[in-house]
Amino acid sequence: MTKLVRYPVRSPLNLLNEFDRLFEHPARPYRLPEDWGLALDVIENEDGYVIKASVPGINPDELDITLEDNVLTVKGEVEDDEDIEKEQYHLRERRYGRFSRSVKFPILVNGDDVTASYDQGVLTLNVPKAEEVKPKRITIKTS
């Protein structure tokens, strides 16, 4: 089985800096970084890869999905609730802002046959492997 590589790899230092910021101004509510990563499920089968992402509340027409140099990228944005700015939050866990996630495939994929579907907030991408990397069954001739 081949190994998928997260692309680009975020520095652990960024996470530590964000954690330190939590304690710099305890009276100020913590804000998530402007860009955040999208959680993905990546499944490999004989024919290719199936990628699933939960993106509820996002219009699928506003998602930007590209495949370039064997790197699949999904970008989008979740709008903030602007009408609630004058209210005081007691708990705020839903993310908003821009998000982006890229996955580099370890083998060649066929970018011309990628399909995408969106159902009840779940984006599903089917990325077929290139024909030249699929296993070929060789038959044995007997005489």
Question: What pLDDT score was predicted for residue 108?
Answer: 93
Q: What dotted CATH number matches 5-22+32-80+95-131?
A: 2.60.40.790
Question: What pLDDT score was predicted for residue 36?
Answer: 67
Q: What are the tens digits of pLDDT across the range 43-69?
A: 999 999 999 999 888 889 999 999 999
pLDDT higher for 55 or 34? 55
Range of weakest confidence among 1-10, 50-59, 94-103, 120-129? 1-10
Residue ranges of domains in the chain: 5-22+32-80+95-131
The predicted model gives 9-26 an average pLDDT of 60
Residue 1 pLDDT greater than 70, yes or no: no
Question: What pLDDT score was predicted for residue 41?
Answer: 95
How far does the chain reach from its first CA to its final CA, in angstroms?
A: 35
The span from the CA of 126 to the CA of 116, in Å, is 6
CB 131 within 8 A of CB 112: no
C-alpha 39: how far from its chain's center? 5
Q: How confident is the model at residue 4 (pLDDT cuts 50, 70, 90)?
A: low
Question: What pLDDT score was predicted for residue 32?
Answer: 47
Question: What pLDDT score was predicted for residue 89?
Answer: 74
Q: What letters, b where the CB count within 10 A reaches 16 and e where it falls short, cover 72-106?
A: bbbbbebeeeeeeeeeeeeeeeeebeebebbbebe
- Report helix, strand or coil for 14: helix
Range of weakest confidence among 8-22, 88-102, 124-138? 8-22
Question: What pLDDT score was predicted for residue 23?
Answer: 64
